[in-house]
């Protein structure tokens, strides 16, 4: 008697969700797939919208890319292994990335499995057994219809981590009379024309917004407590220490220099992980550490619940594809997971090692230092029984990271070509 097809829910149709659907479709087992996408089209965070807090008809907006965004890494590190980018420059405008994802969905026939404009409200285990099925409750965000529900054998959460802003508590922020926003709400530099702007945070987004807002702003203070940046900044961008407190009209910095008047404050301070459709009995989040997860993607107590997209600061497209591929191998029965106790021990040992290296819970899923993401990729490949990403990915990543640090204003003018497993060339 043939094995019954299993029902799979995929939540999100961005980078993670699309490559997960692709891997579920092109395997030797048949799955009945339903993907829930809250937006009107595929693309996730790359699907641009001018509105920040609400869309048309009062619907919430969850777009985090800004109008002029160009990628921080070349397209050679931002593609799925089964679908190359079009010819052209290595660094892509956000619309080109969205176009790539939509062409990917069309090329592999993914759209027919996706319920657009559909919000998942709850994902509930149907029993306390390890191989539980799941009830998924959802509704149409346009019509606000009565909640519907379906039962699935597996749930794969692909909602990413660029939806909920993180803003540190600043003394005096409630008294500040200027504009305050998070980069999640930043779209264009024109509103800052002739103004003095403070940006808190000097990772890629903070530096990029400093460059872009400097084109219209009178002056930009780039505030952070890291070592001085090595790149040349625009003449009207001034590095400052972190913010000690806000006043009605300005800022006092951590170095106790004189107060500076500012018209606007932009937080470039990262994002908070949230999964409102999962109860705290299922998933715990403590200062951005998400538990209990084996290798950042398998729920340890309920290994019919998976996550694609939790690790941060890595080659998101090919790494997500690899995680999705490993998930399908597990679902297909080709991989036997360790016991619950062994997976819990592995999770604790990995976090203990991070703490030894100076990383707290807020960096429990951080992959951006040294060779960490490549070691992680090898672990995923070993689990899934496939080859890890080629060595040239690591070499190109390291090369462009240095370019970004030293020539931020011009690094995107450089173009690359991957030659073979361990070689790339600049063209």
Domain presence at residue 170: no
pLDDT score recorded for residue 167? 94
Cα–Cα dist 427/424, whole Å: 10
pLDDT (tens digit, 9 = 90+) per residue, 259-294? 999 999 999 999 999 999 999 999 999 999 999 999
Alpha helix segments (H runs only) across 169-315: 204-213
- CA–CA distances in Å: residue 389 to residues 302, 318, 321, 326, 426: 28, 8, 11, 13, 20
SS3 for 259?
coil
| 353 in the same domain as 316 | yes
SS3 for 350?
helix
- Number of Cβ within a 10 Å radius of residue 115: 15
Pairing relationship of beta strands 264-267 and 179-182 according to DSSP bridges = parallel
pLDDT score recorded for residue 146? 82
- Number of Cβ within a 10 Å radius of residue 58: 7
User: Looking at residue 247, what DSSP letter applies?
Assistant: -
pLDDT (tens digit, 9 = 90+) per residue, 103-140? 999 999 999 999 999 999 999 999 999 999 999 999 99
| 277 in the same domain as 129 | yes
| 219 in the same domain as 150 | no
SS3 for 104?
helix
pLDDT score recorded for residue 1? 45
The number of domains in the chain is: 3
> pLDDT grade, residue 320 (50/70/90)?
very high
Dihedral of CA 133/135/141/142: which sign? positive
Strand partners, 174: none
Residue 57 has pLDDT above 80, yes or no: no
Cα–Cα dist 359/356, whole Å: 7
Which of 225, 245, 267 delimits the end of a domain? Answer: 267
Residue 419 has pLDDT above 50, yes or no: yes
Q: Could you tell me if 163 and 230 are in contact, meaning their C-beta atoms sit under 8 angstroms apart?
A: no
Domain presence at residue 146: yes
Packing angle of the helix pair 391-406, 372-384 (nearest 10 deg): 160
- CA–CA distances in Å: residue 290 to residues 166, 363, 367: 16, 10, 15
Cα–Cα dist 255/221, whole Å: 14
State the virtual CA torsion across 330, 336, 337, 341 in degrees, nearest 10.
Answer: 160
pLDDT (tens digit, 9 = 90+) per residue, 25-40? 999 899 999 999 999 9
CA nearest neighbour of 10 among 143, 160, 141, 129: 160
Average pLDDT over residues 226-242: 97
Cα–Cα dist 391/393, whole Å: 5
Average pLDDT, the chain: 94
SS3 for 16?
helix
pLDDT score recorded for residue 229? 98
Q: Quote the percentage of the chain above a pLDDT of 70.
A: 96
SS3 for 19?
helix
- CA–CA distances in Å: residue 288 to residues 166, 167, 292: 10, 13, 12
pLDDT (tens digit, 9 = 90+) per residue, 76-105? 999 999 999 999 999 999 999 999 999 999
Residue 53 has pLDDT above 60, yes or no: no
SS3 for 265?
strand
Residue 318 has pLDDT above 70, yes or no: yes
Report the first-to-last Cα separation within the chain, whole angstroms: 57
Cα–Cα dist 130/101, whole Å: 34
Cα–Cα dist 237/214, whole Å: 7
Domain presence at residue 171: no
| 222 in the same domain as 97 | no
- CA–CA distances in Å: residue 166 to residues 129, 161, 200, 267, 283: 35, 11, 12, 8, 19
| 156 in the same domain as 44 | yes
Residue 407 has pLDDT above 90, yes or no: yes
Average pLDDT over residues 234-253: 97
Average pLDDT over residues 311-319: 97
- Number of Cβ within a 10 Å radius of residue 284: 12
Average pLDDT over residues 212-234: 97
| 302 in the same domain as 239 | no
| 221 in the same domain as 199 | yes
Domain extent at residue 209: 177-267
Q: Which helix (H) or strand (E) holds 408?
A: none
CATH number at residue 94: 3.50.50.60
Domain presence at residue 1: no
| 157 in the same domain as 45 | yes
Strand partners, 264: 179, 197
Q: Could you tell me if 266 and 199 are in contact, meaning their C-beta atoms sit under 8 angstroms apart?
A: yes
Domain presence at residue 105: yes
pTM attached to this predicted model? 0.95
| 192 in the same domain as 79 | no
Which of 229, 248, 267 delimits the end of a domain? Answer: 267
Two structure tokens written together for 79: 């593609």
Cis omega before residue 418 (within 30°)? no
| 191 in the same domain as 90 | no
pLDDT score recorded for residue 62? 60
> pLDDT grade, residue 58 (50/70/90)?
low
CA nearest neighbour of 123 among 8, 44, 19, 45: 8
Q: Quote the percentage of the chain above a pLDDT of 90.
A: 89
Cα–Cα dist 365/310, whole Å: 7
Cα–Cα dist 232/241, whole Å: 17
Residue 385 has pLDDT above 90, yes or no: yes
């Amino acid at each position: 008697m043939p094995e019954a097809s299993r029902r799979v829910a995929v939540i999100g149709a961005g980078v993670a969700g699309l490559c997960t659907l692709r891997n579920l479709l092109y395997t030797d087992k048949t799955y009945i797939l339903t993907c829930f996408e809250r937006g009107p089209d595929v693309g996730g965070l790359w699907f641009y919208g001018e509105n920040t807090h609400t869309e048309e008809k009062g619907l919430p907006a969850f777009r985090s890319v800004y109008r002029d965004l160009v990628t921080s890494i070349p397209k050679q590190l931002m593609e799925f292994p089964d679908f190359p980018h079009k010819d052209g420059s290595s660094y892509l405008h956000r619309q080109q990335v969205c176009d790539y994802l939509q062409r990917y969905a069309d090329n592999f026939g993914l759209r027919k499995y996706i319920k657009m404009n559909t919000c998942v409200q709850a994902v509930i285990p149907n029993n306390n057994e390890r191989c539980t099925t799941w009830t998924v409750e959802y509704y149409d965000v346009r019509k606000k219809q009565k909640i519907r529900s379906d039962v699935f054998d597996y749930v794969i959460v692909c909602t990413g981590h660029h939806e909920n802003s993180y803003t540190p508590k600043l003394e005096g922020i409630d008294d500040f009379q200027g504009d305050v926003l998070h980069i999640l709400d930043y779209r264009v530099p024109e509103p800052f024309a002739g103004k003095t702007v403070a940006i808190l945070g000097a990772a890629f987004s903070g530096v990029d917004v400093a460059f872009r807002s400097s084109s219209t702003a009178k002056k930009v203070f780039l505030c952070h407590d890291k070592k001085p940046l090595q790149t040349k900044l625009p003449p009207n961008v001034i590095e400052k220490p972190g913010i000690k407190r806000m006043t009605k009209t300005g800022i006092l910095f951590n170095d106790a220099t004189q107060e500076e008047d500012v018209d606007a404050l932009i937080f470039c301070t990262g994002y908070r992980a949230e999964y409102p459709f999962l109860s705290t009995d299922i998933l715990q989040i403590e200062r951005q550490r998400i538990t209990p997860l084996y290798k950042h993607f398998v729920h340890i107590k309920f290994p019919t619940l998976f996550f694609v997209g939790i690790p941060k600061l890595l080659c998101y497209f090919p790494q997500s594809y690899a995680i999705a591929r490993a998930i399908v191998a597990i679902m297909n029965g080709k991989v036997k997971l360790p016991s619950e106790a062994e997976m819990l021990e592995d999770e604790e040992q990995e976090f203990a090692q991070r703490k030894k290296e100076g990383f707290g819970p807020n960096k429990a899923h951080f992959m951006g230092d040294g060779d960490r993401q490549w070691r992680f990729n090898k672990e995923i490949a070993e689990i899934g029984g496939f080859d890890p990403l080629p060595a040239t990915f690591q070499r190109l990543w390291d090369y462009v990271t240095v370019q970004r640090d030293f020539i931020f204003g011009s690094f995107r003018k450089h173009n690359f070509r991957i030659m073979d497993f361990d070689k790339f060339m600049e063209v």
